[in-house]
Amino acid sequence: MPGQQHEVKFRFLAQPTDVNFGGKVHGGMAMKWIDQAGYACAVGWSGGYCVTASVSGIQFVAPILIGDLVTVDARLIHTGRSSMHLAVDVMARDLRKGEERLATSCVMVFVALDGPDGKPTPVPHWEPLDDKGRRLQEQARRLLELSKGMEQLVARRGETMG
């Protein structure tokens, strides 16, 4: 039912097939996990098909090692008419030592699309229930303003080059 699921957590073990030549999970794999969890969260909120519109501020903070328990937490932080802004954190836990660390974080924007035409379709409005949610929503709004400014800058640059 749309408007019910505003957070998704994926948990799994980092495997040998996930690592780069340095023996750590490569960024592309982490980005794949982020996109999958974000998609599940966006569809859970909108109740329909969604596409990734942007990923902002992705930071690779700490490595993920083979055998770490990985948790990808995607949570809704803002809604527009047809868009959903999500904060996504990737945590890695060394199961032997019990130490957990933030590995990667970012903000994603998904857009809900209708079935046949692939046109943006409205999503249920989300309102934060606590101070943390309000802070995250304000962050999303600031990122949206920055993103619009970047789009205008790129458009002007394209006009001068063409």
End-to-end CA distance of the chain: 47
Label the pairing between strands 50-60 and 99-112: antiparallel
What is the value of pTM for the model shown? 0.85
**Domains in the chain, start-ordered, CATH in brackets?**
7-126 (3.10.129.10)
| pLDDT tens profile 10-65 | 999 999 999 998 889 999 999 999 999 999 999 999 999 999 999 988 999 999 99
| pLDDT tens profile 71-84 | 999 999 999 999 99
Strand partners of residue 73: 9, 89
